[in-house]
Amino acid sequence: MANRLLYLIGALLVAGTSVFFSRSPPSPDSGPPKLFPGRNNTVLFLTDAHPGMSNVHVATTHALLLSYPDLSIHYASFPKLEKTITSISNFAVHQNPTSNPIAFHPLVGKTYVESLDDTGFNIEKAIQPSGFRGIAALCNNMQTFLMPWTAPDYLATYKDILRVLGEIDPFIVVVDPMLGPALDAVRTQGRNHVVLSPNTLKDNFVSMQPWGSMFWKYPAISSGYPYPVPWHLIPANIYLNIRFIYSVLNTPHLAEKKVFLKANGIAKPLDVFSIYQKEYLWLTQSLPESEFPMPVIPDNVVTCGPIFRSSAPAAEQDPELAAWLSRAPTVLINLGSTVTFDEYGAGEMVHAIKNLLSNTTLQVLWKFNKRGIYSRDVFSEVWKEIEDGRLRLEKWLSIDPAAMMETGNIVASVHHGGANCFFEALGVGVPQIILPLWVDLYDYATRVEYLGIGAFGNPASAPNWTSQELSSSFSRVLDSGEESVRIGKKARDLGELSRKAGGKFRAAKEISKLARRGPE
Ligand SMILES: *[C@@H]1O[C@H](CO)[C@@H](O)[C@H](O)[C@H]1NC(C)=O
Ligand SMILES: *[C@@H]1O[C@H](CO)[C@@H](O)[C@H](O)[C@H]1NC(C)=O
Ligand SMILES: *[C@@H]1O[C@H](CO)[C@@H](O)[C@H](O)[C@H]1NC(C)=O
């Protein structure tokens, strides 16, 4: 169950360590890359199928269809994503009938998450405490996170992508570097490409910051430390960084796979040190204002602002739920597509919700799925609230979270710190309470505290949470006191700024410029 979180880590040091540690430039020949020509006005997207990894790309295709209907848009991914592409394409063509539907090309091989599952990985293994207590588990998992595919699976997908590139002959490719075989194939063929990933600026560029500040100023991945790292935690922060980097550099299983892949024609398989290249445009949904201060941002990086999907308005997606949302200001509890509740976590959440509902006129929408077997008694404290309709439990949300927040009825988003959840709430301007469970999720909790747009909901007990901690973070964000007013205002201000940045429309504009072939 590798969420994007897991892989973000990889990407972080991936792009990062390269710059910091390698004295020589990533590519030996320093001249401009020789580009494969490609078919004019043709764009190909290459991503994994997991929503955590593909949502920013899917959202961007939507904007391309709306704004640049003359372009021909292709999307290659695993078959699981086809339904999503078809529906976003239909929606866009409905809005702009002059655009062409997206052509979907299914890839052979296994998705990132399927491959992780095959290695015996699951959510229980992913959950880890922050800092010292969690670093061993995290480092153990790194080799798997970097390349969950078996070497033959990786090769099969790589070859299939070469085929698709040949058939479509795109003028520009938009690629998520987490799909290793895709980046390898694009670079083998020398295709012009753009990197688009859900990651933040810190994830990818922290190592470029001056004075080795990644070690002493920015919280180490998964540390949960505040920004800037306080003096007394600097030694621990340095240790966590070094240990993590060591685990990325020292990967015997990965080395075996790479020998196989090289023998089969991939010159530099999954070369984590050259993902960032200054010749190719890099699009990110981070903004300098929504990130820790980053004095160095490379020239070829465009900070687009939050990129997320927005389809039909809430009332069209589910009129009944939309009507319920309009009854009272609502707290949305949605820990993403992967996180489920064990009995302990559910019980603590129930106490905190009971407390919140007894003190306020708010209502709560809780996306709830069980982990393990336990009785419904866990809800006994809130039966009345459920009957009265002030607490609503759903297995899945029939309105997408962005559209839900856009109704203006959501007063706080309680989530696990996934990039999509963070950027959606940021973009709409809704305060956030973050309950991180692994790796980079801890960074998002630190980030909302630093930005003043929400709360780290479980700093003492993460990856668990207690009702006491939940109640106190609920009050900080929701009790209408001074702090909660300040948080609400800052979240709205950053939301406005984010919308001005353009998000998916900005990304689409940049891609469209690179899709046009100039006169010879
Ligand atoms: C989290 O809670 C579970 C009980 O559900 C417990 O077994 C585990 O040790 C706790 N983890 C931490 C890091 O406190
Ligand atoms: C609810 O009221 C109790 C008792 O007055 C208080 O301890 C708690 O902090 C309040 N919770 C919230 C969320 O305001
Ligand atoms: C590519 O398409 C653009 C826009 O349609 C056009 O202006 C340009 O001349 C074309 N380039 C070539 C080489 O045909």
Q: Over its length of 520 residues, how does the chain's per-residue pLDDT go in tens digits? A: 333 333 444 444 444 443 333 333 344 444 445 566 899 999 999 999 999 899 999 999 999 999 999 999 999 999 999 999 999 999 999 999 999 999 999 999 999 999 999 988 887 888 888 888 888 888 888 888 888 999 999 999 999 999 999 999 999 999 999 999 999 999 999 999 999 989 999 999 999 999 999 999 999 999 999 999 999 999 999 999 999 988 888 888 888 999 999 999 998 888 877 889 899 999 999 999 999 999 999 999 999 999 998 878 999 999 999 999 999 999 999 998 888 999 999 999 999 999 999 999 999 999 999 999 999 999 999 999 999 999 999 999 999 999 999 999 999 999 999 999 999 999 999 999 999 998 889 999 999 999 999 999 999 999 999 999 999 999 999 999 999 999 999 999 999 999 999 999 999 999 999 999 877 6
Distance from the alpha carbon of residue 423 to the mean position of ligand 2, in angstroms:
30
pLDDT at residue 336 in the model: 84
CATH architecture, range 314-501: 3-Layer(aba) Sandwich (3.40)
| Binding-site residues, ligand 1, Cβ < 6 A | 129, 342, 344, 464
pLDDT at residue 136 in the model: 87
| Binding-site residues, ligand 3, Cβ < 6 A | 40-41, 516-517, 519
Are 87 and 119 in contact, with CB atoms under 8 Å apart?
no
For residue 96, give the 3-state DSSP assignment: coil
Length of the chain as a residue count? 520
Structure tokens at 27: 């590519």
CA torsion sign for 476, 481, 482, 486 is positive
Give CA–CA dist 151/36, Å, rounded: 27
**Which ligand approaches the C-alpha of residue 358 most closely?**
2
- How does DSSP classify residue 518? P
| Number of the ligand 2 atom closest to the C-alpha atom of 471 | 13
**Which ligand approaches the C-alpha of residue 463 most closely?**
1
Angle at 239 between CA 234 and CA 244, to 5 degrees: 125
DSSP-derived secondary structure for 155-196 = HHHHHHHHHHHHHH-EEEEEE-TTSHHHHHHHHHTT--EEEE
**Which ligand approaches the C-alpha of residue 412 most closely?**
2
Domain borders along the chain are: 2-24+34-307+503-514, 314-501
Going by alpha carbons, the residue nearest to atom 11 of ligand 1 is 464
**Which ligand approaches the C-alpha of residue 371 most closely?**
1
Distance from the alpha carbon of residue 309 to the mean position of ligand 3, in angstroms:
30
DSSP-derived secondary structure for 201-226 = HHHHHGGGSGGGHHHHTSPPTT----
pLDDT at residue 434 in the model: 97
This prediction's pTM: 0.91
Tell which one of 471, 472, 474, 478 to mutate to probe ligand 2, the residue whose CB is within 8 A of the most ligand atoms.
471
359 lines ligand 2 (CB under 6 A): yes
Could you tell me the CA-to-CA distances from 11 to 70, 105, 199, 245, 436 in Å, in that order?
34, 26, 8, 12, 19
484 lines ligand 2 (CB under 6 A): no
Going by alpha carbons, the residue nearest to atom 10 of ligand 1 is 464
Distance from the alpha carbon of residue 404 to the mean position of ligand 2, in angstroms:
27
Residue labelled with tokens 């609503």: 392
| Number of the ligand 1 atom closest to the C-alpha atom of 344 | 5
Distance from the alpha carbon of residue 23 to the mean position of ligand 3, in angstroms:
40
Give CA–CA dist 506/75, Å, rounded: 19
pLDDT at residue 415 in the model: 97
Distance from the alpha carbon of residue 491 to the mean position of ligand 2, in angstroms:
24
Give CA–CA dist 174/194, Å, rounded: 5
| Identical topology for domains 2-24+34-307+503-514 and 314-501 | yes
pLDDT at residue 274 in the model: 83
CATH architecture, range 2-24+34-307+503-514: 3-Layer(aba) Sandwich (3.40)
Here the contacts of 213-216 (C-beta below 8 Å, separation 24 or greater) are: 214/16, 214/20, 214/241, 215/241
